[in-house]
Structure formats: structure tokens, C-alpha cells
Amino acid sequence: MKDRLFPILFALIVLSIIFGGWFIGRDRGWFIRNSINDISISRTINCDTVYIDSRNIMYAITSWEARRYNDDILHLKIGFNKGYGESITLNIDTLNTHYLDIFGKILSIKDIPVRN
């Protein structure tokens, strides 16, 4: 009897680990493809403030990081998570920064649409 139950119990444990990992990963946003199409970007008329919001209703922006190296590009790293999040408002020094790098795509700040 013990020899017959071991494969069944082992399979149940493996399946519960796989499904548990999938549910946790789905809630934390591990399976989102993270592209520029997942976010909405707008700016003010004088280009000193940029607003970034999530377009996906289920996932929200929960983390972000901005870095600037010795160039005129502001590199943004955005994290998504399931549930409630925040939008991002960036006040940008437009004398030194002219481009945004989001998900590997470089956007000119002047080409970003103006917020209504």
C-alpha cells in the first residue's frame, strides 16, 4: 500500500509547487511582457513633467527606478504587480535630459503627447 501511494503523493506535491509558483508569479507580474504599449505616457506643455500610467487594468505600476548616466537620456525601469499601484510623475531637468529610455525604447521628451 505504501509503495502505491508514494508516486501519487509525489505527483500531488510537484503539481502543488508548480501551481503555487504560477499563482504567485501571476500576482507579482512575472508573466507580463513589459513593453512600451503597456503604459500611457504624457507630459506638460513646457516638457518639465512626465506622467506615466499603466494601461492594463489588472496590473499597476508598483515600482520604478530612474538612472541617468553621463548622457542626455533618463533610463527608467518600471515594475508591475497585480492590484493597486501608483502612477509616476517625474519632474525632469530639461536642460540636461532630452530623451527617456523605457523598456529599451528611447523616446524624445518633445515627442511625448501633451496631457490634457
Note the pLDDT tens digit of each residue in 56-107.
777 778 778 888 888 889 898 888 777 776 777 878 877 788 899 988 899 9
Q: Which domain holds residue 10?
A: 1-31
For the chain, the domain total comes to 2
Q: Are residues 19 and 71 in the same domain?
A: no
Q: Are residues 59 and 98 in the same domain?
A: yes
Note the pLDDT tens digit of each residue in 14-43.
999 999 999 888 777 677 677 777 788 888
Q: Are residues 39 and 10 in the same domain?
A: no
Q: Are residues 43 and 73 in the same domain?
A: yes
* The length of the chain, given as a count of residues: 116
Label residues 28-54 b or e (16+ Cβ within 10 Å = b): bbeebeeeeebbebebeeebeebebeb
Q: Are residues 89 and 102 in the same domain?
A: yes
pTM of the model: 0.66
Q: Are residues 63 and 103 in the same domain?
A: yes
